[in-house]
Chains A and B, each alone.
Chain A
Amino acid sequence: MKKMLFILSVLVVASMVLAACGPSGPAECADELGCAEYGPDDPIRIASALVITGPDAQLGLDSQHGVEIAIAMRGDVAGHSVELQAEDDGCNAEGGQAAGQKIVSDPSIVAVVGTSCSGAGVPMSKVISEAGYVMVSPSNTAPSLTDPAQAFNPGYLRTAHNDKVQGAAMAKFAYEVLGLKTAAAIHDGDPYTEGLANAFRESFEGMGGKVVAFTAVSKGDTDMKPVLTAVAASEGGAPEFLFFPVFTAECAFLAKQTKEVSGLENTIAAAADGCFSAAAAEAIGEAGNGMYFSGPDLSFSGDTYVTFKQQYNTLFGSDPISVFHAHAFDATNMIFDCIESVGVTGADGSLSVGRAAMRTCLYATSGFQGITGTLTCNQYGDCADPKISVSILENSEYKRIWP
């Protein structure tokens, strides 16, 4: 051990001396935040930081697959192939920070797709921004992330819907389109679900509806019947509309068990984009007939999404396992578009992408035709198509019915 220490310290001193006389990097880049530079044959490198371990892994893996397909379908970007550096955000703050530090220590990474979870997004957005990088999240929905008074950092964008927008849309749909006056909302203590349920409650009450129950289950719960029984027996009577914007596992439990609880037979169930996927439809099964889902309308992009799904099946052996693959696909393509528009190709085929230019370009994204809609970014990085659609599930098929 002691010898190792000695050797280590010798190495250390030697390397410092060498570092001092080593050649300094090329200085052609004129960007204030520096550039990502690629030699003539080097691939462009982007990173992803999504939750690929733990109980929410399917959410992040699905998004990562979206990025991988975007790379595969795009082919070369600005004359270079693209390489993905896939990181894990662990769905928690420390994971996001560590992944962020890892990414910013690599000067060859030009942009990041991530994070999956808002909790990981908050610290990572700080790390990424301070280092002059840029990130586009496919599935962060917490309002605080794009709120300049809270956790917004320049360098952060997202293609996912802000909870405020989606919650309000669902409330509007329930109150105005379906004409329902009483509702209940259930979340599971995840920042995403809690934020969305709260946004729904505020909007629904703001329009004049009555939220008879606002309650929560815990992540990992399986038996939702006690909660649902309590909701059915709430003081204002059983709600006409039940909104549970949770992820696939809990969502499927709630959907199935709602049908089994006396008093909720006539209640219309609804969930949000966390449970809006082919895999979720399969998990919910027959119980999902007539259930509503808010989220992006993936059918409207036409052929692109069909090709996307085929690719997904060949590469990963199943239908998409969650919903945010589409957002990730769009995020990746937005990044590619910007690389192509701001990247400077040298005479020898090398490429230099300015980081500040990259940011400016991404924030200026306008009318981008993605598979989740037409994306236009505002100055705080909210890029999602403001039109939220609501789909109904019939025989495991989603049909868009609104707007």
Chain B
Amino acid sequence: MSNEKKFTLRNAINQGLLAGLITTLISTVGMVELFSQRQLIAGVMTMAQLFIFLIPALISFQTARKAPKNSILLFSAVTSFFASLPVLVLILLASTFGLRRFLINVSPSLIETLTFGQGPLVGSLILVLATTAVGVAAAFVDQMDEKIRKPILAGLMWTILVGTFSEILQERLRAFFGIGFTNLIIKSKALQPVAALIFLVVVTAISYFWQQRGDSIKKGLASQSATQRRNMTYAQRIAFFVLLLILPLLLGSYLSEVTNNVGIYVLMGLGLNIVVGFAGLLDLGYVAFFAIGAYVMAILTSEGFLGVAQTSFWLALPVSVITAVIAGILLGTPVLRMRGDYLAIVTLGFGEIIRIMANSDLLKPYIGGAQGVLQIPKPSFFGTSLIQPGQLYYVVLAGVLLAWFVSTRLSNSRLGRQWMAMREDEDVAEAMGINLVNTKLLAFAIGAGFSGLSGAIFASKLTSIFPHSFNLLISINVLSLIIVGGMGSLPGVVVGSLILVGLPELLREFAEFRPWMYGALLIVMMLAKPEGFWPSAIQKRELHADEESPPVEEVAAAD
């Protein structure tokens, strides 16, 4: 807790061992091996090597900050040296006992990667030396003047990021500039060394100059008159909307698809944000309304044998939404008097009930059971069928904008205030004359409506739906994204969706480790920003107020 606590060599060793254990874990679960052939920068560095050295480097950097001023290099060296030890133990155990009987991913090729193909003895030596060197290098960077350090770090970070997302970049570059130019920069996912170097230098330079000049630009902006500033924001807004409109052209079909998926979650997130963020009702069965919206759309429009009406998308859309709203009220009523976690488990149950019923043989004749509903047409707009993701994007965008508009209006309305009052304290809210029944039901209903809308678009985007798409994980994901974004904050929903839906989609390359990364990401993000990435103004204020009050639980924190 206190920063004055002396940072001893023993702490440095512990830190190092921790880093080593994390690296060992990353290796034993198989992630290092998966990326052993993946070139981050062609011929210079593989992704696997990044994983091996990243954690020791970060922790050494940390150590360097805490270490006594006169022995920083020593501390960093010790930390990074000890960081290599657990990995060394792994190599030793694996090459003598053949751990693979127990740990399936500790394969000979993993050991080869960890020892850089030089055999256990030489390889281990290289590993220890290299890790220590990386740690010392990190300490050196830490020692630099802030004006130089920050640009260098920014350059390194961006280069690594570009290398990581190279697959997507490669595809986009190819679409815009043709294959010849792309191969100069990225070839089979690997950033070419020259391009990487140029990029590194350019980013560092930009970052450096930005730092030098940034302040004066900011000051210049601040000194503008109010009218000027308003004009500026108008211009920005228009630019932003234009950007939204032409986005599919820039993104191409795959990224548009990802955007659509993000959009569908944004829609759901906006709805759940009303229920959880505004009204404070913890709903873990939110997927139920999504499923209802999707199924209503499917049954109404399907051209297959389960379709009942073969109506158009636009006709079925309001029906889906209304059905979801009714379902929201129906669920809302019995749980009106439940609070907190009781509400959570009951709503969770409701979500599961809907999924199980959809999957059951009982309802199979009507909604397809496990075999789902097929042949749902995509929406058409004045005769054009919106087949491409880039076309569907506009439907999703329209939905999101609508939900956004409703949410903004609501949050500042009388109803919005009532929700917030209720979230803070139901009893006080009631005492103030708020009708709890109506207020809660409205939250459920509107939230369900957004989700139903989202589900309807989802069904017609997929052209076929199966009960498996409506499992608990969706509810969990939506809840996570509104919390990661910042509860009660509308931009937060978008940020959360981008992080929790968009990012895993862009990191498809991590294959079977995506959920693993997702889990780790959730923990790390919440530890780093408990209030979310874009907290609402009110929440920021509250947290700030918290900080001012004297900490009570410090007393017990003896560790």
> Interface readout for B162-196 with A: 1 if CB under 8 Å, 0 if not?
00000000010011111111000000100000000
Known: A101-B254, A105-B171, A119-B468. A150 touches B374 (CB 8 A): yes
A93, B465: Cβ atoms closer than 8 Å:
yes
Known contacts A61-B512, A83-B188; is-contact A15 B176 (Cβ 8 Å): yes
The residue that A92 contacts in the complex, of B252, B371, B468, with Cβ under 8 A, is B468
- Given A5-B243, A123-B462, A216-B361: 9 more A-B contacts, CB < 8 Å: A6-B239, A8-B243, A61-B512, A93-B465, A94-B469, A98-B257, A119-B469, A194-B369, A194-B370
Residues of A within 8 A of B100 (CB): 317
- Neighbour of B257 across the interface among A92, A101, A316, CB < 8 A: A101
Q: Which residue, A22, A42, A130, has most C-beta atoms of chain B within 10 A?
A: A22
Cα(A268)–Cα(B515), bound, Å: 40
Q: Are A191 and B372 in contact (CB under 8 A)?
A: yes
Which A residues lie within 8 Å of B330 (CB)?
Answer: none
A12 to B171, CA, bound (A): 15
When distances are taken between beta carbons in the complex, the residues of chain A under 8 Å from B255 are 105
In the complex, are the beta carbons of A122 and B464 less than 8 A apart?
yes
**B374 touching A25, Cβ below 8 Å:** no
A104 contacts B by Cβ under 8 Å: yes
Q: How many A-B residue pairs have CB under 8 A?
A: 142
Contact of A25 among B176, B178, B356, B462 (CB under 8 A): B178
Q: Is the CB of A317 within 8 A of B107?
A: yes
| Inter-chain contact A317/B464, CB cutoff 8 Å | no
Chain A residues within an 8 Å CB radius of B304: 150
Q: How far is the CB of A85 from chain B (nearest CB, A)?
A: 9
Contact with A along B463-500 (1 / 0, CB 8 A): 11111110000000000000000000000000000000
Closest Cβ neighbor of A121 among chain B residues: B464
A105 and B181 within 8 A (CB): no
Known: A5-B239, A18-B177, A194-B371. A97 touches B515 (CB 8 A): no
Interface residues of A in 127-154 (CB under 8 A from B): 130, 142, 144, 150-151
Q: For residue A316, which residues in chain B have a CB less than 8 angstroms away from its CB?
A: 104
Q: Verify B177–A130 contact, CB threshold 8 A.
A: no
Residue of A at shortest CB range from B249?
Answer: A16
What are the interface flags for B366-407 relative to A under an 8 Å C-beta threshold, 1 for contact and 0 otherwise? 000111101100000000000101000000000000000000
Q: Does B312 have its Cβ within 8 Å of any Cβ on chain A?
A: no
Complex contact B176–A151 (CB within 8 A)? no
Chain B residues near A (Cβ < 8 Å):
100, 104-105, 107, 171, 174-181, 188, 236, 239-240, 242-243, 246, 249-250, 252-255, 257-258, 261, 304, 356, 359-361, 369-372, 374-375, 387, 389, 458, 461-469, 505, 508, 511-512, 514-515
Q: Are B261 and A98 in contact (CB under 8 A)?
A: yes
Selected from A18, A86, A122, the residue in CB contact (under 8 A) with B176 is A18
CB-based contact A104/B253 at 8 Å: yes
In-complex Cβ contact of B253 among A99, A101, A190, A195 (8 A): A101
Q: Is A263 an interface residue (CB 8 A)?
A: no
CB of A43 within 8 A of chain B? yes
Task: List, in ascending order, chain B residues with CB within 8 A of A130's CB.
Answer: 387
Residue in contact with A2 in the complex, picked from B176, B236, B375, CB distance below 8 Å = B236
A16 CA / B369 CA spacing, docked (Å): 47
For residue B265, give the distance in angstroms from its CB to the closest CB of chain A: 11
CB pair B178–A23 under 8 Å, yes or no, is: yes
- B465: A residues at CB distance < 8 A: 93
The interface bits of chain A over 5-43 (1 if a CB of B lies within 8 angstroms of the residue's CB, else 0) are 110110010011011001111000000000000000011
A22 x B177 contact (CB < 8 A):
yes
Smallest CB separation, B396 vs chain A (Å): 13
Taking the closest CB of chain B, its distance from the CB of A367, in whole angstroms, is 32
Q: Which residue of A lies closest to B214 (CB)?
A: A3
Chain A residues lying within 8 Å of B370, measured Cβ to Cβ, are 187, 189-191, 193-195
**Contact bitstring A141-175, B, C-beta under 8 A = 1, else 0:** 01010000011000000000000000000000000
Contact of B180 with A23 in the complex, beta carbons under 8 Å: yes
Instruction: State A105–B171 Cα separation when bound (angstroms).
Output: 7
Indicate whether A379 reaches chain B with its CB closer than 8 angstroms.
Answer: no
Asked if A304 CB lies within 8 Å of chain B CBs, one says no
Are A88 and B104 CB-contacts (below 8 A) given A98-B258, A101-B254, A189-B359?
Answer: no
Contact residues in B for A317 (Cβ distance below 8 Å)? 100, 104-105, 107
A398–chain B nearest beta-carbon distance, Å: 23
B171 lies within 8 A of A53 (CB): no
| A123 neighbours in B (Cβ, 8 Å) | 462-464
Task: Check A151/B107 contact, CB under 8 A, given A97-B462, A102-B508, A317-B100.
Answer: no
| A57-B374 in contact (CB<8A) | no
Nearest Cβ in chain A — how far from B477, in angstroms? 12
How far is B178's CA from A18's CA once the two chains are assembled, in angstroms? 10
Q: Would B254 and A102 count as touching, CB distance under 8 A?
A: yes
- What CA separation (Å) do A141 and B469 show in the bound complex? 19
| Contact (Cβ within 8 A) A105 B176 | no
Task: Specify which of A19, A24, A102, A218 is in contact with B356 (CB 8 Å cutoff).
Answer: A218
Q: For residue B528, give the distance in angstroms from its CB to the closest CB of chain A.
A: 19
A384 sits at the interface (CB 8 A): no
Could you say which residues of chain B place their CB within 8 Å of the CB of A12? 243, 246, 250
State A276–B371 Cα separation when bound (angstroms): 23
A67 within 8 A of B: no
> Distance (Å) between the CB of A353 and the closest chain B CB?
16
In the complex, which of the residues B359, B369, B370 has the most CB atoms of chain A within 10 Å of its own CB atom?
B370
| A126 at the B interface (CB under 8 A) | yes
Contact status A94-B462, CB under 8 Å: yes
Distance, CA A266 to CA B125, complexed state (A): 63
Query: B371–A191 contact, CB under 8 A?
Result: yes
Please report the C-alpha to C-alpha distance between residue A87 and residue B257 in the assembled complex, in whole angstroms.
Answer: 15
CB distance from A74 to the nearest CB of B (A): 18
Report Cα–Cα, A144/B240, bound state, in Å: 44
The CA of A50 and the CA of B514, in the complex, are separated in Å by: 14
Can you offer 19 A-B residue contacts whose CB atoms are under 8 A? A18-B176, A52-B511, A53-B515, A61-B512, A88-B511, A94-B261, A94-B458, A94-B469, A97-B257, A98-B257, A101-B389, A106-B171, A107-B174, A119-B466, A122-B464, A150-B375, A189-B370, A195-B370, A317-B104
B210, closest chain A residue (CB): A3
A251 within 8 A of B: no
Q: How far is the CB of A107 from chain B (nearest CB, A)?
A: 8
Contact with B along A174-209 (1 / 0, CB 8 A): 000000000000010111011100000000000000
| Contact (Cβ within 8 A) B258 A119 | no
Proximity bits, A52-93, B CB within 8 Å = 1, else 0: 111001000100000000000000000000010011100111
Minimum-distance CB pairs A-B, first 10:
A105-B254, A101-B257, A194-B370, A119-B466, A19-B176, A52-B512, A122-B464, A189-B359, A191-B370, A93-B462
